[in-house]
Amino acid sequence: MKLAIIGLPQSGKTTIYNALTRSNQPTDMGGKMEIHTAVVDVPDPRVTVLTEMYQPKKTAFAKVTYSDIAGLEGSGQGDISGKMVNELGQMDGFIHVVRCFESDNVPHISGTVDPGRDIQSMDSELLLNDLIVVERRIERLTDERKKGGRDKLAVEKEMALFEKLQNILMEDSPLRAADLSEEENKHISGYQFLTMKPMLIVLNLGESQDTPDVSSAIKDSRVVALQGQLEMEIAQLAPEEAEIFLKEYKIEEPSLYLMIRESYELLGLISFFTVGEDEVRAWTVKKGAAAPVAAGVIHTDLQKGFIRAEIVSYEDLTTLGSMSAARDQGKLRVEGKTYIVKDGEIMHVRFNV
């Protein structure tokens, strides 16, 4: 799963990217379109606890891929370049970094710092891009009506759908908030509408700055606040130094960890685990995935030959201390092909290929 980090110039999005990836990309790319990508572990204390229980040879966390995409100006004019649209269209969601900090050394592109205005500006940029796509499709469908050729009912049905999308966008509403049927969603999936993608807004605060109220500017987006510069400094410390720093300032964990978990949930993902002496691993599936689908994430053969899954919750396993104790206490269940895997469950697949 891939998330694009977007934001206005000088918003601190590359600082956030550097904090996420422990890299040192230059924070001023001069408006050029540049893309930097890295895979990041999803912090999960459950993986740490399971590792302590099993002492495996290998531990693997769930992953999220982040791309820092420079060159998106947020003019609100819908003038995103074709190359930029193609890059954004391939993403599963967006992290919109919004500047809240003041700095005489880093002038704001609009002259003043106004998080609510900047949120609306970027939203308008993405929305207008989608509206242009929709209106072009309506124009083609109108021509198709006149010329004939394709099934008339199919054309009328598609026209009704795109006029529905046009009305939603004209009301300044993102398409992800629209009440679309499964069939409608499937029909428009190839268009890669930007406002269909889930959005996490990250308020980039200055040191000791209170979180501003941006509720009036939010349209169907999650919000997280953090101090980007501080998070980058913590991330680039050696692990033992970072631990000392956090203890000294009585910080339970970097705010960045919350952002990573929020972005993971933003995509509608959950983690389940496999455990053993060789490996403890967190696997990723969409919420609502059936057991065979989850098994297929581990290996395609497990899905093809799925017979049943042995399931125990994280809470039961860690409370009872072992799989055998969970079995003795009746907490280890056998589930079939229709079972929906839940977040945090430990699964062992029985299969035959």
Per residue in 125-145, pLDDT tens? 999 999 999 999 999 999 998
Domain CATH code at residue 186:
1.10.150.300
Kindly state whether residue 113 falls inside one of the protein's structural domains.
Answer: no
User: What integer pLDDT is reported at residue 330 of this predicted model?
Assistant: 95
Residue 71 in this model has a pLDDT that exceeds 70:
no
Q: Quick one: 127 and 252 in the same domain?
A: no
If pLDDT is split at 50, 70 and 90, which confidence band does 76 have? Answer: low
Does residue 7 sit in the same domain as residue 131?
no
Quick one: which of 282, 346, 283 has its CA closest to 318?
346
Residue that wins the pLDDT comparison between 127 and 148 = 127
Band the pLDDT of 27: cuts 50, 70, 90.
Answer: low
Identify whether the C-beta of residue 99 lies closer than 8 Å to the C-beta of residue 6.
Answer: no
Residue 179, pLDDT > 80, answer yes
Q: 208 and 102 in one domain?
A: yes
Tell whether 221 and 322 lie within a shared domain: no
Looking at the domain assignment, is residue 177 inside a domain? yes
C-alpha pair distances (Å), 119 with each of 5, 96, 123: 14, 8, 6
- Choose one of 179, 196, 213: the last residue of a domain: 196
Residue 50 maps to a domain: no
Same domain, 293 and 338: yes
Which of 61, 56, 59 shows the shortest CA–CA distance to 44? 61
**pLDDT at position 30 over 60:** no
Does residue 333 lie in a domain region? yes
Q: Which of 97-111, 164-178, 244-258, 299-313 has the lowest mean pLDDT?
A: 244-258
The domain boundary residue, chosen from 210, 231, 266: 266
208 and 149 assigned to the same domain: no
Please check whether residues 184 and 318 belong to one and the same domain.
Answer: no
Q: Are residues 236 and 131 in the same domain?
A: no
Asked whether residue 19 is assigned to any structural domain, the reply reads yes
Spell out the residues 6+ positions from residue 105 whose beta carbon is closer than 8 angstroms to its own: none
Q: Please answer whether residues 97 and 7 qualify as being in contact, where contact means their C-beta atoms are separated by less than 8 angstroms.
A: yes
Is residue 312 within 8 A of residue 256, CB to CB? The reply is no
Q: What is the pLDDT of residues 226-267, one digit of tens each?
A: 999 999 989 888 889 988 988 887 888 888 888 999 988 899
Token pair of 278 as six digits: 């060789």
- The string of pLDDT tens digits covering residues 300-310 is 999 999 999 99
Confidence at residue 75, expressed as pLDDT on a 0 to 100 scale: 58
Locate 75 and state its tokens. Answer: 């003019």
Question: What CATH code is carried by the domain that includes residue 68?
Answer: 3.40.50.300
Range with the poorest average pLDDT among 27-41, 53-67, 159-173, 203-217? 27-41
> What is the pLDDT, as a whole number, of residue 28?
61
* pTM assigned to the model: 0.88
Domain boundary among the residues 196, 211, 235 is at 196
The mean per-residue pLDDT over the stretch 156-180 comes to 94
Residues in the chain, total: 353
Based on the fold, state whether residues 16 and 95 are members of the same structural domain.
Answer: yes
Q: If you average pLDDT over every residue of the chain, what do you get?
A: 91
Same domain for 191 and 328, yes or no, is no
pLDDT band with cut points at 50, 70 and 90 for residue 78? low
* Residues 247 and 325 grouped into a single domain: no
**Could you tell me the residue range of the domain that residue 180 belongs to?**
123-196
Residue 11 lies in a domain: yes
Domain count for the chain, please give it. 3
> DSSP strand E in the chain: where?
2-6, 35-41, 58-60, 63-69, 93-99, 199-204, 222-226, 269-274, 279-286, 306-313, 333-335, 345-351
Residue predicted with more confidence, 72 or 44: 44
199-204, strands of its sheet edge to edge: 35-41, 63-69, 2-6, 93-99, 199-204, 222-226
Amino acid at 109: I
Report the CATH number at residue 294.
3.10.20.30
The whole-number average pLDDT for the span 288-299 is: 97
Say if residue 73's pLDDT is above 80: no
Residue 52: what pLDDT? 96
The whole-number average pLDDT for the span 21-35 is: 71
Q: Is 155's pLDDT higher than 70? A: yes
- Tell me the C-alpha distance between 322 and 114, whole Å: 53
Answer yes or no: is 54 within a domain.
Answer: no
**Residues 24 and 7 grouped into a single domain:** yes
